[in-house]
């Protein structure tokens, strides 16, 4: 018996040693770049992509009329030629005429034509297809019946020319015209209703710099260069692999060990540690487009719900701007930002991200953390502690409410804990409740919550009426139910102007109003630290997505394989 045990142990030890030396020699010459992702990329068909990664992949595979770039010094989105070699405005700016390249071909050899463009937009807009990007067609010219019909508003003049007819000018025209284009000859054979039930990642025939090489569900997805692509050219990498590693610690471990090259969403402390090590991994910080806030329901949600949306009354606790300002003064946002995010976040003053330099009002400072000022503001509104239980009352109503937090979010949980304590110090009772994500958003949209913690990612185009327009029926994402006439005027005025310079002063005024009214307590903008192995050479990662410039990446060959 012992002999067998000894023998087995020996064999195991030997094989373990052999396994450990597996690194070298496997990755010479045209090495692949591996990106670690949390969840499976899933279906990369641009009609149905909901996840960020799938979005980015679909944009690498499928061509678009224009390419977008974000100019960090001015904070503006600029567009360049891609499938379209040039374009011009017609009819006073309401129509855009695109001249397509004649040399663009799909992977199977057929030319990319204007018909493909029209077909793609028909699919995006068709209710039977139920694409998630249906909203991008809202700006197109409507038919006589008032509906949107892509077959009429996206008009191919000939094989290489296509006209987009818009209802009116607005800043996002080129953005909406830049959706990924699908090959008509591949997808028109299937009835539109069944497109959603096609096997995922089937028929991904594109014309972009990459094409789908292999997809192992829940494990990895591999892209390889499309050698015939001219949009703009075939990728320089041999392979681009997206590897699924659901656990954060595992992703981090693999990044440090050099087994994956890129990992997004590093926690601030880990990013700091990696940057400080000055080893094989560097940290790139994508400036924040995502902000977290504590939402205060400005109106009485119960009355609103019961009356079917007719009764709009100020909320008994949060209806007053002075109370909301007091709440913001009572919460130490600066400390939380520093503690939880470090240098990868900054305090938020309003819903306009500091990266939009042309619109950001940098004269505004965040409201100072001053609990005593908060107490006096509250006292000024009539909130006093008359019975000595430590909680403020006014007209027999205690200042006590439930703070809803979506379950499973560690950052927001911690914020909620700190907020509860800091508000307790000024006499406000907060009860924290964690709610499942799916239920959370449903209830939130129905305005059932008094207070909650949520986050938004702002679009690259400055279009904020979804979130701040007074028409609560039309803008269900105005979660705090903020209503202000001047803001509506500003939003309407900014909507029609295409040139951002004209609207800059409007947006700055908008931010002052928000600062004064404090419809919600803005917490912080979160930067996304991305760990990138130094062997990946090429343009740095930017706001538009990690892989947006991936076709320009190359790998610096090092001897002996990635460091362990």
Partner 1 sequence: MNAAGAEGKDSLGEFWRWAAVVLTAGWVLIYIFLSIIHSRVICSGLVSLLLAPVAFLARAGSTDYLWNTALLDYRCAAAVWLGSGIFIVACATGAAVRWKWTQVFLQFIGGKKAGGREGAVLSFGVCAAAGFLLLAAAAPFVAPFDANAQGDLATTRELRPLSNGIAWEISRAVREAPAGEAVLVRALRDADEYLLHRHVRFTRPGSIEYETMLHGEAGLRAHRVVFLFGTDAVGRDLLSRVVYGTRVSLGVGAAAVLVSLLIGCIVGFLAGAFSGFVDRVLMSGVDLALSIPSLFLAVTLVAFLGRSSLTTVVVLAVTGWMAIARLVRGEVMKVREQEFVLAAKLLGVSQGRIIVAHFMPNVLPVALTASVLQLGNAVLGEAALSFLGLGIQPPTPSWGNIIGEGMTSLGSAPWIGIFPGAAVSVLALVSHLIVESSQEIAARG
Partner 2 sequence: MTAFVAKRIASSLLLLLGLVTVVFVIMRLLPGDPAALFITPTVPRQVADRIREQFGLDQPVLVQYLQWLWNALQGRLGFSLVHQKEVGQVIAAAFPHTAALAITAVLLEIAGGVSIGTLCARFRGRFLDRLISSSALVLYTLPTFWVGVLLLAAFSYGLGLLPPSQTHSIGAETLGIFGYVLDYVVHLILPAVALAIPGAAGVARYLRTGLVSALDQEYVTAARSMGVSERKILTSYALPNAAIPLITVVGLDIGTLLAGALVVETLFSWPGMGRLTVLAIFSRDYPLVAGCALLSGTMVVAANFIADLLYAIFDPRIRIVS
- Do 336 and 413 meet the contact criterion of CB atoms below 8 Å apart? no
Please choose which of partner 2, partner 1, none residue 80 contacts, taking the beta carbon within 5 to 8 angstroms, the exact cut-off set by kind. none
Segment interacting with partner 1, rule: CB under 8 A, options 93-101, 177-185, 403-411, 531-539: 403-411
Q: Side-chain half-sphere of 495: how many Cα atoms within 13 Å? A: 13
In the complex, minimum distance from the CB of residue 264 to partner 2, in angstroms, rounded to a whole number: 16
d(CA 113, CA 107): 14
Three-state SS at 239: coil
For partner 1, what does the binding mask look like between residues 255 and 294, x meaning CB under 8 A? --------------x-------------------------
**H or E element, residue 422:** helix 410-424
Please choose which of partner 1, partner 2, none residue 16 contacts, taking the beta carbon within 5 to 8 angstroms, the exact cut-off set by kind. partner 2
In the complex, minimum distance from the CB of residue 355 to partner 2, in angstroms, rounded to a whole number: 19
Whether the ω angle into residue 232 lies within 30 degrees of 0, i.e. cis, is yes
Output the six-digit token pair for 137.
Answer: 């067609």
The DSSP bridge partners found for residue 434 are: 405
Segment interacting with partner 1, rule: CB under 8 A, options 208-216, 405-413, 446-454, 523-531: 405-413
Three-state SS at 485: helix
For partner 2, the closer CB: 303 or 463: 463
Output the six-digit token pair for 207.
Answer: 């014309």
Query: Could you please report the per-residue DSSP string of 56-120?
Result: HHHHHHS--SEEEEEETTTTEEEEEESSEEEEEEEGGGTEEEEEEPSS-B-TTSPBP-HHHHHHH
Max Cα-Cα span within the chain: 91
335 binds partner 1 (CB under 8 A): yes
Please choose which of partner 1, partner 2, none residue 247 contacts, taking the beta carbon within 5 to 8 angstroms, the exact cut-off set by kind. partner 2
List interacting residues with partner 2 (CB under 8 A).
Answer: 12, 15-16, 18-19, 22-23, 26, 34, 40, 42-43, 50, 127-128, 130-136, 193, 196-197, 199-200, 217-218, 243, 245-247, 249-250, 253-254, 257, 259-260, 436-439, 441-442, 445, 456, 466-467, 477
Output the six-digit token pair for 8.
Answer: 């087995």
Whether the ω angle into residue 176 lies within 30 degrees of 0, i.e. cis, is no
For partner 1, the closer CB: 247 or 473: 247
For partner 2, the closer CB: 34 or 113: 34
Segment interacting with partner 1, rule: CB under 8 A, options 232-240, 335-343, 360-368, 480-488: 335-343
For partner 2, the closer CB: 131 or 504: 131
In the complex, minimum distance from the CB of residue 317 to partner 2, in angstroms, rounded to a whole number: 26
d(CA 203, CA 297): 46
For partner 1, the closer CB: 269 or 471: 269
With CB under 8 A as the contact rule, the residue among 80, 135, 309, 408 that binds partner 1 is 408
Q: Residue 107: phi, psi to the nearest 5?
A: -60, -30
The DSSP bridge partners found for residue 33 are: 240
For partner 2, the closer CB: 198 or 379: 198
Q: Tokens 């939009």 map to which residue?
A: 356
SS3 per-residue string spanning 325-389:
HHHHHHCCHHHHHHHHHHHHEEECCCCCCCCCCCCCCCCCCCCCCCHHHHHHHHHHCCCECCCCC
For partner 1, what does the binding mask look like between residues 431 and 450, x meaning CB under 8 A? -xxxxx--------------
Please choose which of partner 2, partner 1, none residue 466 contacts, taking the beta carbon within 5 to 8 angstroms, the exact cut-off set by kind. partner 2
Output the six-digit token pair for 526.
Answer: 């979160």
Please choose which of partner 1, partner 2, none residue 310 contacts, taking the beta carbon within 5 to 8 angstroms, the exact cut-off set by kind. none
Three-state SS at 101: coil
Write the CB contacts of 501 (distance below 8 Å, at least 6 apart in sequence).
358
For partner 1, the closer CB: 387 or 473: 387
From the list 257, 262, 314, 309, the residue with the least C-alpha distance to 286 is: 262
In the complex, minimum distance from the CB of residue 438 to partner 2, in angstroms, rounded to a whole number: 4
d(CA 161, CA 491): 34
SS3 per-residue string spanning 80-94:
EECCEEEEEEEHHHC
Number of residues that bind partner 1 (CB under 8 A): 28
> What distance lies between CA 384 and its chain's CA centroid?
42
For partner 1, the closer CB: 89 or 389: 389
388 binds partner 1 (CB under 8 A): yes
Q: Which long-range contacts (CB under 8 A, 24 or more apart) does 307-314 make?
A: 309/472, 309/473, 312/472, 312/481, 312/483
Segment interacting with partner 1, rule: CB under 8 A, options 161-169, 204-212, 355-363, 419-427: 419-427
In the complex, minimum distance from the CB of residue 417 to partner 1, in angstroms, rounded to a whole number: 5
From the list 465, 407, 483, the residue with the least C-alpha distance to 441 is: 407
In the complex, minimum distance from the CB of residue 26 to partner 2, in angstroms, rounded to a whole number: 5
- Do 61 and 44 meet the contact criterion of CB atoms below 8 Å apart? yes
Please choose which of partner 2, partner 1, none residue 14 contacts, taking the beta carbon within 5 to 8 angstroms, the exact cut-off set by kind. none
218 binds partner 1 (CB under 8 A): no
Q: Tokens 């027999």 map to which residue?
A: 396
For partner 1, what does the binding mask look like between residues 340 and 379, x meaning CB under 8 A? x---------------------------------------
From the list 364, 367, 352, the residue with the least C-alpha distance to 322 is: 367
In the complex, minimum distance from the CB of residue 432 to partner 1, in angstroms, rounded to a whole number: 6
For partner 1, the closer CB: 433 or 556: 433
223: which DSSP letter? E
With CB under 8 A as the contact rule, the residue among 72, 74, 86, 249 that binds partner 1 is 249
7 binds partner 1 (CB under 8 A): no
208: which DSSP letter? S
For partner 1, what does the binding mask look like between residues 121 and 140, x meaning CB under 8 A? --------------------
With CB under 8 A as the contact rule, the residue among 50, 387, 485, 499 that binds partner 1 is 387
For partner 2, the closer CB: 4 or 19: 19
Q: Which residues bind partner 1 (CB under 8 A)?
A: 249, 269, 335-336, 338-340, 387-390, 407-408, 410, 413-414, 416-418, 420-421, 424-425, 432-436
């Amino acid at each position: 018996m012992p002999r067998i045990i000894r023998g087995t142990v020996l064999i195991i030890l030997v094989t373990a040693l052999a396994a450990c030396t597996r690194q070298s020699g496997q990755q010479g010459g045209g090495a692949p770049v591996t990106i670690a992702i949390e969840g499976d990329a899933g279906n990369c068909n641009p009609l149905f992509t909901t996840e960020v990664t799938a979005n980015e992949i679909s944009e690498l595979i499928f061509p678009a009329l224009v390419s977008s770039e974000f100019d960090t010094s001015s904070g503006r989105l600029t567009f360049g030629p891609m499938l379209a070699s040039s374009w011009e405005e017609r009819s006073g700016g309401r129509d855009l005429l695109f001249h397509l390249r004649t040399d663009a071909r799909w992977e199977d050899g057929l030319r990319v034509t204007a018909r493909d463009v029209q077909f793609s937009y028909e699919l995006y807009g068709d209710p039977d297809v139920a694409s998630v990007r249906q909203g991008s067609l809202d700006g197109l010219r409507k038919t006589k019946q008032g509906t949107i019909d892509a077959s009429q508003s996206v008009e191919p003049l000939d094989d290489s020319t296509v006209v987009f007819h818009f209802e009116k000018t607005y800043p996002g025209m080129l953005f909406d015209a830049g959706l990924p284009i699908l090959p008509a000859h591949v997808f028109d054979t299937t009835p539109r209703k069944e497109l959603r039930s096609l096997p995922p990642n089937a028929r991904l025939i594109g014309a972009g710099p990459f094409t789908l090489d292999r997809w192992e569900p829940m494990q990895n997805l591999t892209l390889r260069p499309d050698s015939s692509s001219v949009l703009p050219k075939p990728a320089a990498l041999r392979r681009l692999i997206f590897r699924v590693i659901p656990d954060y610690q595992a992703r981090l471990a693999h990044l440090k060990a050099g087994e994956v090259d890129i990992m997004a969403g590093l926690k601030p402390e880990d990013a700091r540690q990696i940057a400080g090590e000055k080893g094989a991994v560097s940290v790139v910080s994508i400036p924040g487009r995502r902000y977290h806030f504590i939402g205060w329901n400005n109106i009485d949600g119960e009355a609103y719900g019961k009356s079917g949306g007719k009764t709009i009354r100020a909320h008994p606790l949060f209806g007053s701007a002075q109370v909301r300002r007091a709440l913001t003064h009572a919460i130490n946002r600066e400390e939380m930002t520093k503690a939880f995010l470090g240098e990868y976040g900054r305090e938020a003053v309003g819903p306009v991200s500091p990266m939009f330099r042309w619109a950001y009002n940098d004269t505004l400072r965040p409201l100072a953390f001053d609990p005593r000022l908060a107490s006096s503001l509250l006292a000024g509104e009539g909130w006093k502690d008359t019975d000595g239980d430590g909680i403020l009352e006014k007209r027999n109503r205690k200042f006590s409410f439930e703070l809803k937090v979506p379950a499973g979010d560690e950052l927001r949980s911690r914020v909620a804990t700190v907020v509860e304590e800091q508000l307790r110090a000024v006499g406000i009772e907060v009860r924290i409740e964690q709610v499942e994500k799916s239920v959370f958003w449903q209830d939130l949209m129905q305005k059932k919550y008094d207070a909650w913690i949520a986050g938004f990612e702002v679009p690259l185009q400055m279009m904020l009426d979804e979130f701040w327009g007074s028409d609560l029926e039309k803008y269900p994402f105005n979660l705090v139910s903020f209503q202000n006439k001047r803001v509506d005027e500003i939003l309407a005025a900014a909507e029609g102007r295409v040139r951002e310079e004209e609207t800059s002063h409007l947006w700055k005024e908008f931010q002052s109003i928000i600062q004064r009214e404090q419809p919600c307590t803005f917490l912080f903008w979160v930067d996304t630290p991305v760990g990138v192995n130094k062997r990946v050479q090429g343009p740095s990662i930017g706001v538009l997505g990690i892989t947006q410039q991936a076709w320009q990446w190359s790998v610096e060959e090092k001897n002996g394989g990635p460091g362990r």
